[in-house]
Structure formats: structure tokens, C-alpha cells
Amino acid sequence: MPRPPLASWGQLPAVPAAHERWLSDRAAPLPAVAGSVLAYGNGRSYGDVGLNSGATLLHTRGMDRFIAFDEATGVLTCEAGVLLAEILDVFVPRGWFLPVTPGTRFVTVGGAIANDVHSKNHHRAGSFGGHVRRFELLRSDGSRRVCAPGENAEWFAATIGGLGLTGLITWVELSLKPISGVGITVASTRFTGLDEFFAVNTEAEARHEYTVAWIDCLAPTVRGIFMAGDHSAGQGQAAAARKALNFPLTPPFSLVNGLTLRAFNQAYYNRPVPAMSVVHYAPFFYPLDGILHWNRLYGRQGFYQYQFVLPMAARAALADVLRSISTSGQGSFLAVLKTFGDLSSPGLLSFPMPGVTLALDFPNRGAPTRALFDRLDAIVGEAGGRLYPAKDARMSGEFFRRSYPRLNEFLPFVDAKFSSDFARRVLL
């Protein structure tokens, strides 16, 4: 039996769920319980979209069966609790890959839909929901609906990026994409300053399927490493064979502080960066999956991830955000910078929009950390941007409602029996 989740990926102190139910039969009705329920995938959301304090969590990992696969088209039907890692293990050797994958493969298909996750190929492929052909939605009144762009389309749009609030997704039909091998050809380059980032990025997006940059926001002038990748027939096997390390316990205090951050960022920036290399897909897409439970490094108070997107026309506000972070003295490693392309997301509440997105991790230092986020919210909000619910644990309801303009279209589809800490914080 899995250990009850007491907190989400950010390990922020949280009230546990009062009850947990483990689902394994996709044809079974929802368990009859008092109070609200919420699907729990694999707990890789940083904040509280996957938490339901004092109520019931429905664990979906037991719904982990592959149902059908069409070798000719790459269309896979599977249960919603299947992990992206399980899809990769079975289908990469057969020449198929995920059309869109987040930065960890330990997420369920249901969780990937509920947050309409994005990847390093947003400029070419859009978000995860754009590759979902159909799914079944089970509601608390016992009704089951097959939802697709051409069938129950309004339910489809509400459930993709719907934060688990429209009901339980039981099975999913997803288009995989053909690949030539397990390798990724990676072109890497260092850059200094945001203007150089945007110049390198524009050129790279025209030629490469995957683009992303890591930035050191602690340096006096922003600097970083830009990576552009494409699937390759090359092997890059060595890295894949490496066994994942485990961070065994949660220390009482954060091991991440000004000193460790500065040292890490300096070392990362100065590491040898080959202009061109072929690596296995795993270290390219999932560098953090190599250390299991790396989130424990932040200690018992946990950490926040702050991820926002700004419309391209307001990209100048990015410099203001970085300046505020630098002035606050609260740094971040693993600041990931990426642009979103023009492909529109299918979900009413999908996070991506054309623009630039930045994700930063901050140890939870309490009031000073929250005060910094309030200042960042003001800049992001003023610029017409928004925060990513999958990473959030503290944005105000007012900010959420203002920055997700299709919220009123979404609300009629919320199942009255489904709720989450996030929903109670931002919707009520």
C-alpha cells in the first residue's frame, strides 16, 4: 500500500487528507464517501492542486493498464494512472515517443491532462492536451462521458487543464510520435543577458524541435546555457544505464541557501558545454529524475516553485522580475527559461499562452518568501501574465480569476463533489 501523501512535491507543511481510496478498476463507480474527493495521480504537482485537506484523495496509480495500441498510427489507449515513464519503457524500443513531456517522467497520464502540461517543444507541438484524442470522464452522479474535440467538446475543453475538478478521467487515447532512436542531438551555447537569450532562441526555434535555457539569476548580469535538441538515431546509452540516486531523508533545515546556490550555479555555468553532443533522451528531458526524492533537500519547511508566463509583447517585465529576485537576496537554482509558441491550448484553464515562461525554485523562508512572491505577482499581473497552478501554493483568488479569462466558461463543468485545496483557495 503506498504511503499516504502528506504534502505535495514542494513538501510544504499541509493538512493530510482524512481518507484515501485506491482505485484500480476503471469500470467501477466512484467510492461512496462523505465530503469531497479529488484524484491523486503521482503527486508531482508542487503546490496544492493535488491536495484535499481533511477530505478524500482517490489514488489513480492502480489504474495502470495499457488497453490498445495501433502500430500503424501510434495511437495508444491506456488507463489514466499509467505513468509517462511506463509509456516510454514500453514504446521507445518500438520507435514511439511522447508527443509532449514535462521535466519529469514520473507523472500519470491523468495528471498530465489535468494540468495540460507543456514541454521543451511547445513552439512546435503545443501542450499535452493537443495530442489527446479522447478520454472517458466519470462524474460523481455516476455518468460516464467520452470526451473528444468532436464529441462532448465542451467537457473536453473543461477537463484538459481542468485541475481535476470536472470528475475522474478513467482512460485516455493519446497520439504518440515516431522517433528514429533513443538519442537526442543537443546543441548548447552560453549566453549573457536577456537580449542574447531571445536572439539565440528565435534562431533555434526555427531549426530545432526542443529548446530550453537554464539561467543563473544570482549572477550580476543574467547568464545561462541554451540547449536545442532533436531526436536522433544515435545512442547516448551510457547516461541512461546509470542507476538513479536517492536522497534518503528530509533534513530538519534546508540544504539550499545563498552559499550552496551561488556555488552550484557558478559550477553549472562553468561546466564544459560541448557545442554538439548526442545524449540519451532521459538526461535531456529528465535531469532531475536522476536523483529520487531530490525535493527533500529543502528540509522540513519545503520549497515553492514560482512559474509564470508573460505575453511576448510584455517580455521586458522579465528583467523587472529578475531584478526583484536579485534585490531580495533570495535566489534560485534551476531557473528554467523557455518561450511558448502560438499553438493554442485546448483547455479553458490551460496555462500556456504565447510568450515567455520562467520557473524558479525558492526555499520556504516564510514571510520574506511570500512577500517576494507578492512583489513578483504585481509585476507579472501588470504585464498581463499568469502563474501555473501545477506549481502554485499561494496565489490569491483575485489574481487567479483575473489572469484566467475563461474561468467563467469553466465553472459550470466543475463537479460539485470534487474539490482541492487549490480550488478552495482561488475559487471561493
Ligand X SMILES: Cc1cc2nc3c(=O)[nH]c(=O)nc-3n(C[C@H](O)[C@H](O)[C@H](O)COP(=O)(O)OP(=O)(O)OC[C@H]3O[C@@H](n4cnc5c(N)ncnc54)[C@H](O)[C@@H]3O)c2cc1C
Q: Which residues contact ligand X by CB under 6 A?
A: 9, 38-45, 49-50, 60, 80, 102-104, 107-108, 110-112, 114-115, 117-119, 163-164, 168-169, 288, 390, 420
C-alpha cell at 406: 475563461
Taking the complex as a whole, the smallest distance from the CB of residue 168 to ligand X amounts, in Å, to 5
Nearer to ligand X, 233 or 288 (CB): 288
C-alpha cell at 344: 493554442
Nearer to ligand X, 375 or 417 (CB): 417
Q: Cβ distance 229 to 191 under 8 Å?
A: no
Q: Cβ distance 323 to 379 under 8 Å?
A: no
Nearer to ligand X, 194 or 349 (CB): 349
Taking the complex as a whole, the smallest distance from the CB of residue 147 to ligand X amounts, in Å, to 12
Helix (H, G, I), strand (E, B) or coil at 126: coil
Alpha helices in 242-357 (DSSP H): 258-270, 281-285, 317-328
Taking the complex as a whole, the smallest distance from the CB of residue 193 to ligand X amounts, in Å, to 24
Taking the complex as a whole, the smallest distance from the CB of residue 128 to ligand X amounts, in Å, to 8
| Strand-by-strand arrangement of the 183-192 sheet | 276-280, 183-192, 223-232, 210-216, 335-340, 355-363, 303-311, 386-387
Nearer to ligand X, 52 or 265 (CB): 52
The 3-state DSSP composition of the chain as helix, strand, coil percent (nearest 5) reads 30, 25, 45
C-alpha cell at 234: 544515435
Nearer to ligand X, 86 or 196 (CB): 86
C-alpha cell at 300: 522540513
Taking the complex as a whole, the smallest distance from the CB of residue 390 to ligand X amounts, in Å, to 4
Nearer to ligand X, 297 or 320 (CB): 297
Taking the complex as a whole, the smallest distance from the CB of residue 140 to ligand X amounts, in Å, to 12
